[in-house]
Each structure stands twice: as structure tokens, then as C-alpha cells.
Amino acid sequence: MIERVDAGPIVAVELFGIPPNASALDLEALAFGQLARLFWQLAKVLATQCEPIQELPIQWSGRKSTRRLYAALCDIPLDISKEELDRRIEVFGAGHFGIFPTIRFHGRHFRYVESKIVTKPGSLHSGSA
């Protein structure tokens, strides 16, 4: 390992499919599962081998995913199409990292928060008067 994120030698890779409409939380869970699988595959070598693990002939891509990039994708432009807004809410609406889809309008910030209304029998929301 080296100090810079996503810059050290690559010693193992696990590719996996991404389901359609996966959210950021879904991707995190899938990646964590693959990380655990790789760890278990490499654990014995990491614990018993003194020399560095053989590197794969693979280079990191130039684009790094950061929280700043994540936040930029949550910054919703006023002219966004309905389809794109729906897609971003589906992917980012859970507020991963405490960052929610946000629209800035007249100097104010409006943040998307998923609403789950729970009604009790006899309440105004259940249809009774």
C-alpha cells in the first residue's frame, strides 16, 4: 500500500456486474462483498509471505471517484430533465456520506429527503374524517 488513495500497485481484481438502477449504497454493498472475497483469498499470503505480493500488469484509470465528485452529482441544475432527476434521486437519494440531491435557488438550498408517511388507523391520512 502507498499513502495516496487508488495509486498503489494492483495485486488482485474482482469484476462484478452492476444491476440496473443500482444506488450508491447498492454499489457500496456489492464492492464491499467483493473486497471481503479478495481479502479471504489473499489472507494467508498476506499473513505468511514476507516479500510483496506479485503485482498485476494493470494500471489505475485516470479518473478518481471522490466525495467532491459525488457532491457535484448531487448538485441538481434547475434545467434538469425529469428523467435525469428521477435517476439521480434513485441513485443518490439515500444521502450517502450525508450528501443529498440539492437544488440551489435564489440563494437557498433545497435538499431532497425521502418521505415515508406512516398512517395509523383513524388518522386523517388513512381516509377517515
Cell of 54: 506479485
pLDDT tens-digit readout, 77-94:
999 999 999 989 988 888
User: In the chain, what is the straight-line distance between the N-terminal and C-terminal CA atoms, in Å?
Assistant: 65
Note the pLDDT of residue 111.
92
pLDDT tens-digit readout, 9-21:
888 999 999 998 8
For the entire predicted model, the pTM comes to: 0.60
Q: Which residue has the cell 473486497?
A: 35
Note the pLDDT of residue 83.
93
Low-confidence spans in the chain with pLDDT less than 70:
117-129
Note the pLDDT of residue 124.
61
